Structure 1
Amino acid sequence: MATIWSLMESVREARTLWRTAVDQVNGRLKNSAIDDAAAERARAAIQALDLLPWDGAIKGFKAGGTISDLADWFTTDWLRTDHEEQMLELLASDLGLSDGSTSCIQNTYFVKALAEACSDPEKYRTARKFGWLRRLGASFATKDRTRLGTIANKNESHWVTLTIDCDKKAVGYGDGFRAKPSSTLREHVNWWLSEHLGMDFKWSDIPVATQKDPHSCGILGYFDLAHWFDPERFPLPQSTAASMADERIKIFLRIVERHQKKAGDFASDARDYEFTFAHSLGFGKETTESDDGESEKADTEDSPSGSEYSAQDDDSDSVSD
């Protein structure tokens, strides 16, 4: 009986989240200031919400996540790690990154791994759990990799952008509040670069969009990183409330598009609906026709699952040291 009541409660909560999301989008459509493109995206979002189930896993992303979490894109809630990882995967696909690319995108665990490695250098040099991080450092030493970008969690309450450019010997830091990097972060990054490259890097601020509210750091961190990789293709967005809400809807539609490519039942149910997903709404198009990787949470000693994102579907095991 307890199980039945728990199930009913979870369904009720999911329905409430969905209803709130639809109400938020309808509220945007009633705003006379909304432009035609944003209104079209809002209507597409309502169609998608109408067809998606309230529960289950999001397919097509190594980062994973649950379908119920998609409702968060229509709120002003702080974006969580799963949201950031999904955006990083989308960006890697947009940039066409692969295992052979000189540029790479690391997931949000990267900075935490540096902190752990720096706390015990001898363990870092020998432990299998750091094998992936040592190989990454070695790839910069051999110039197989020259640029790295990621989004990092600051004090468990704020998302910031971190970049490394080996050709320029530069570390970039981006914070929508214009705050400077902590001395601890600088120590960890500098130690790791010195460990593998034996040279000093100069720190500087990268161009960022100004954050004007308490909750948009997650979406702005994504755009700041995209702009660093390709400023012409990814201009910095405006930071108005309307702009941030529209950007969240864009990301939602892209996630749903990738999910529905993996979920055949969703595509079948949607046959009679005229969806206008990302590729027809004037923003990020996938650069590969291959299916994207499913979520894999294998906990191995050698490397964290999906520590690096690319446009390729790479399910192979890491090679141990």
Structure 2
Amino acid sequence: MGLEGSEKLEHEIEQVHDNIENRKEEVSTLQDMANDLEKLTDHIEATYIGRGVPHDHAKTGSRKPSSGQLIATMQNEIDRLKKEGDKVSILLMQERKKRKELESAKNNLLNVYDSLKMQKASVSSMVNRKQRAAKEEQKIQEEFERQITDLLEEQQQLKLEIERLEAETERANSETEQYEKQKEALEEEYEELRNECLKHDPQLDAEIRTLQDTFEEVERTLTKQVSDAKIADKPLKDSMFNSNSEKEKIMHALEKAEKDADIYSEFIQQYMEQLESSLEKSSTAIENAQNRLAEMTAHLAESSDYDNDDDTDGIINETDYELDTSQSEFATLTTSSNKSILNES
């Protein structure tokens, strides 16, 4: 049942209590009336009937008519009062029965009231639990809403950051393309400048030709040594049964040819190593020049036109100096190699 039903039941119980109290008062009143009638009846019987015949009546042998009428009247009144008393007794019994019924109904209603109070307490506790659960759920929902709001704000910030990074990436790609184009242009200019320097440097051409002649001379020498070894080997085979002196001469010639071949091969190996070292130095110088050109490219992007021209001239002069240094080292190495070959020959 709900709260309204319990309140209605309480009101009905109060009405029953009031009815019981009213009935109690009525019963008490009727009981008092019955007691009064009984007392009056007893008094009348004791006065007129239980008293007996008076002495003057016995002497005369007669009664006054008024006394008989009075007795009859009193008897009638007593009968009437008895009937009234019986009625009152019946009513009293009925009222007692009603009182018992009302008390039973009251007890039932009290039991129902207690049950309703227990149900009300249970419902109240359940409502309180529901309210607490609703408050907790509301708090959790508010926390989720706050987290969702924070995530949405963070998502918006990330979108803005992504857009900014994309714009920066596009700008960086554009700048990179421009730098690549500038680099290609500078490399082309550097190649043209290097070719121009090589073209206008007769000493370098002469050294290259000298190196080619040296290689040809070494090749001819090795070819001659191989042919001499073959020529010396043929009479050795033909004169297997000749004297020991001839064999020793031939063996000595072969040993000398082998030693000469070893010396030439070792010299050529050393010469090739020196040549590779010189070429590595030249490559390093060229790479340094390219790095300086890259630095010049970066510097060109940040400096004014007038300053760029001065720096460009300085870097070109330094590059020419490095190339001249490499060429001079290469020429020195070639000259020393030629001298060594001539001394060995």
TM, length-normalised to structure 1? 0.19
Higher relative contact order (CA 8 A, sep 6+): 1
Q: Which structure is larger by alpha-carbon Rg, 1 or 2?
A: 2
* TM-score for the superposition, normalised by structure 2: 0.18
Higher strand fraction (1 or 2): 1
Structure whose residues are more often helix by fraction? 2
